[in-house]
Amino acid sequence: MTEQIHSSIIQAICKVQSGLGAVKKSQKNVHGGYMFASTDDIYAEVCRRMADAGLVVLPLEEDAEIQRVEKDGKVSQWARVVFSFVLATSEATWTDKRSKRTLFIQVTGPQTFQAAQSYAEKAYLRSLFKIPTGDMDLDAMAQADTEEGQTALNGSAKRKSSYSAKKDGITADTFNEIRAAIKQALNAEHLRHVKAEQYPSEWSTMPVKWAEILDHEFEDRMEQFGSFSEAAE
């Protein structure tokens, strides 16, 4: 049974959502070379509106575990941290356990856990308030899921339609295998290896809608590694 959310919390969320525009992307990821909205960008967009709506969002660390990882003769420490979030108004408090965020982080110092919390909170706020990112919607690319559409978009027919891809053995299993590799990457270098060395041909000829998902998850993961690196400096 779904837990009922107090009406004051729903009203506060709706009030914040009603005034939001696309978030400015002020930061550049040094690994991937793309612009992204930082945690401060998200805070700048929502904190004042949350105050006006009388809504407080607090991160709650539910679990943390440190593991030793050995790769190529080198040992590093990685933390698995799980966050949920508490929403509160003057009338009610609600713990949103359905929107847990689990992060795997290389431990580089005491700043690591703060960086993890900031990243988890940014992702949660974007999801909670449906914050516009200014990125192209995947559904807007549906007309390009043909070789003709790809020619119009990219000047070539490099990517395949879903039908052609399946004929050539690029199936949902391949897509899910690459997604899993992205999630399991240990650092930015490992992540770049997944795209450039491990699955270069599959990635470059993936149907456009699948490729958009992979690119988004790749960039999101690179941003995560970049946030941790910046926090450790």
**Where among 110, 132, 154 does a domain terminate?**
132
Note whether 102 and 148 are same-domain residues: no
Sheet order of strands, 56-71 included? 56-71, 74-88, 93-106
**pTM score, two decimals?**
0.59
Is 188 contained in some domain?
Answer: yes
The position carrying tokens 């004051």 is 8
| 195 phi, psi to nearest 5 deg | -80, -45
pLDDT in tens, 162-188: 445 444 445 677 888 888 888 888 788
* Better-scored residue on pLDDT, 71 or 59: 59
203 HSE (CA, 13 A, CB side): 20
- Tell me which residue of 62, 35, 186, 163 sits closest to 117, measured CA to CA: 62
pLDDT band at 221, cuts 50/70/90? confident
The domain of 205 spans 138-226
- State the Cα–Cα distance between residues 56 and 99, nearest whole angstrom: 16
Note whether 98 and 167 are same-domain residues: no
Note whether 90 and 187 are same-domain residues: no
**Where among 84, 117, 132 does a domain terminate?**
132
Q: How distant, in Å, are the alpha carbons of 78, 144, 152, 154, 215 from that of 163? A: 41, 13, 19, 19, 21
Q: Which two tokens stand for residue 140?
A: 């807007």
Note whether 20 and 120 are same-domain residues: yes
pLDDT in tens, 188-202: 888 888 888 888 878
What amino acid is encoded at 212 in this protein?
A: E
Question: What residues does 75 pair with on adjacent strands?
Answer: 70
Q: To the nearest whole percent, how much of the chain has pLDDT over 90?
A: 20
Q: In the prediction, which pLDDT does 170 show?
A: 58
Note whether 188 and 148 are same-domain residues: yes
Q: Please say if the pLDDT value at position 90 is more than 90.
A: yes
Reported residue count of the chain is 233
